[in-house]
Copies of this chain bind each other. A is one copy, B any other.
């Protein structure tokens, strides 16, 4: 027999956002703007959960890959925004390791801090910095399950040479999560046992 294939791809509206080609994002603020816009539009377009991410060349600010949550439409529990961004960036740069010699230095911006899976995936991806808006506990307070993370996850990433900047535009990001929940968006991953 043959087994099915999973195609990890971005919703069509994302390509339409970038019809004029590559854009550079000069500041951390501009980069986080994009991650938050992706999170909010993913909800308004009806293409998944309220989470956005983007990978940039740290030095030039060039966008390498956007990511949004595609869990429900893709029928894939791994389809968190960060995982999608890692996958698309690695396809684009043609390597499983964004930190390999010859690669641009890559960083991840995320609208919410990573869950246990995305946290575990971060060192494997090769990114050198992550910048997050909403805190893990903000998401948990709204019913999203973030999984079991080591309590010193920030220090542990640091020990691997991955810098973490937290709380950038936190309130705005929490607003996006709240809007989604208040509109009755599905909060999966919440099974207790």
Contacts and interface: CB of A to CB of B under 8 A. Distances in A.
Interface of A: 1-10, 14-15, 18-19, 21-22, 65-66, 71-72, 74-79, 83, 86-88, 90-92, 94-97, 99, 115-121, 123-126, 145, 147-150, 153, 156, 159-161, 188-189, 191-193
Contacts of A150: 148-150
Contact of A78 (B87, B94, B161): B87
A77 B95 CA distance: 9
Copies in the complex: 2
- 10 interchain residue pairs of minimum CB distance: A161-B193, A116-B120, A117-B120, A4-B91, A77-B124, A5-B9, A6-B8, A117-B121, A6-B87, A148-B156
Question: Max chain B CB contacts within 10 Å: which of A22, A119, A124, A145?
Answer: A124
Contacts of A65: 3
A6 B148 contact: no
Given A150-B148, A150-B150, A191-B99, A88 B120 contact: no
B189 A124 contact: yes
Given A1-B18, A5-B7, A78-B87, 5 more contacts: A5-B9, A120-B148, A123-B147, A160-B191, A161-B193
Contacts of A78: 78, 83, 86-87, 121, 124
A95 B8 CA distance: 15
Given A75-B91, A96-B75, A150-B148, A189 B123 contact: yes
A69 to B, nearest CB: 11
Contact of A3 (B92, B192, B193): B92
Given A90-B76, A121-B117, A125-B77, A22 B7 contact: no
